[in-house]
Amino acid sequence: MSAADFARFGRIALACGGDSAEREISLRSGRAVAAALVRLGLEFIELDGAPAVVEAALGGEIDTVFNLLHGRGGEDGCLQGALSLYPVAITGSGLLGSALAMDKLASKKLWHGDGLPTPPWRVATDPGMAGEIEASLGLPAFVKPAREGSSVGMTRVERPGVLGAAIERALRHDDMVLVERLIEGGEYTASILDGRPLPLIRIVTAREFYDYDAKYQSGDTEYHCPCGLDQAREREIQRLALDAFKALGCSGWGRVDLMLDSTGQPWLLEANTVPGMTDQSLVPKAAQAAGINFDALVARILATARRLT
């Protein structure tokens, strides 16, 4: 991008931090992107949390927001809705796409209604529902808060009698919990950049599942890109991921996570509209495999910014 292209962004705000359960990851993403913006020669201010961003918009201090607020307040449509009242552009998805992607239950209902494959599920609002859910859905299963990211509050349940405790744990993070049938097979992620899917990544972890530690703290998680699928099959999965992303009204950039079972059937798990941008994050790894270095990726994400008014 040329200096003239960058000039159209005006006064840039890098939004990170906030008070969600993913604050620390957001700050790490912010540090990585801030360094890239410096290397690109762009001036910007850093704002901690959605209220600070809205206050700056209200005061006419910013023109473009590079949104790295993971989780609630920044990824769930709240910030996008607030900024729609001001002449400020923001990277990534708008209000509706952000809200639908953040709500795993809403995502699954919409995908299911569109005929897109997603694992069977039940909703729990009380640990006392465990017996009924276990009988109807079966085990093993994943238990997760409906509106959290980074595997916060998630538990893999394989043995009878422990589902209630897993639901109780997830309810500490949300008042609605998703109990999803476990798909045995390979775990993949498809990054989306400006309407196009990047190379798939296959994730292999020695842990029970790709949890918070495996994502951000463990050094033994393996990321395979090329993913090991033949070219035609990879393109097929990429198209499915892009269809799932668009079905939720998402745009700009993001990520769709999915599983392939033992028969090769893909199952959509969730979409992320503000994925991590740390040194261990998946979107930068996929971009690198596509020949897009980190600074170029940051520039291209910035170019997705648009006004929501």
Task: Point out the domain boundary residue: 181, 197, 219.
Answer: 181
Residue (of 26, 10, 61, 53) closest to 277 by Cα position: 26
Q: What was the pLDDT predicted at 153? A: 84
Catalytic site positions: 22, 150, 216, 255, 257, 270, 272, 276
State whether 202 and 275 are in the same domain.
Answer: yes
Helix-, strand-, coil-residue percentages of the chain, each rounded to 5:
35, 20, 40
Give the model's pLDDT for residue 54: 98
The answer to whether residues 235 and 271 belong to one domain is yes
* Residue range 101-140, pLDDT digits in tens: 999 999 999 999 999 999 999 999 999 999 999 999 999 9
Same-domain check for residues 114 and 262: yes
Query: In the chain, which residues have pLDDT < 70?
Result: 1-4, 149-150, 207-219
- pLDDT of res. 214: 46
Q: Examine the domain organization and report whether 105 and 210 are in the same domain.
A: yes
Quick: pLDDT tens for 4-17. Answer: 677 889 999 999 99
**pLDDT number for residue 243:** 98
Whether residues 109 and 238 share a domain: the answer is yes
Count of domains observed in the chain: 3
Which CATH number is 36's domain given? 3.40.50.20
Would you say 73 and 20 are in contact if contact means Cβ atoms under 8 Å apart?
yes
Can you give the CATH number for the domain in which 177 is found?
3.30.1490.20
Where does a domain end: 163, 181, 199?
181
What pLDDT, on the 0 to 100 scale, is given for residue 67?
98
Can you give the pLDDT at residue 309? 73
Burial class (CB in 10 A: 0-12, 13-18, 19+), 139: middle
**Beta strands 201-204; 185-193: pairing state:** antiparallel
What range defines the domain where residue 157 resides?
Answer: 121-181
Tracing tokens 């640990």 back to the chain, one arrives at 127
Residues 142 and 254 both lie in one domain: no
Same domain, 154 and 11: no
**Do 191 and 65 have their domain in common?**
no
Query: Which two structure tokens, joined as six digits, stand for 96?
Result: 């509706």
For residues 45 and 107, membership in a common domain is answered with: no
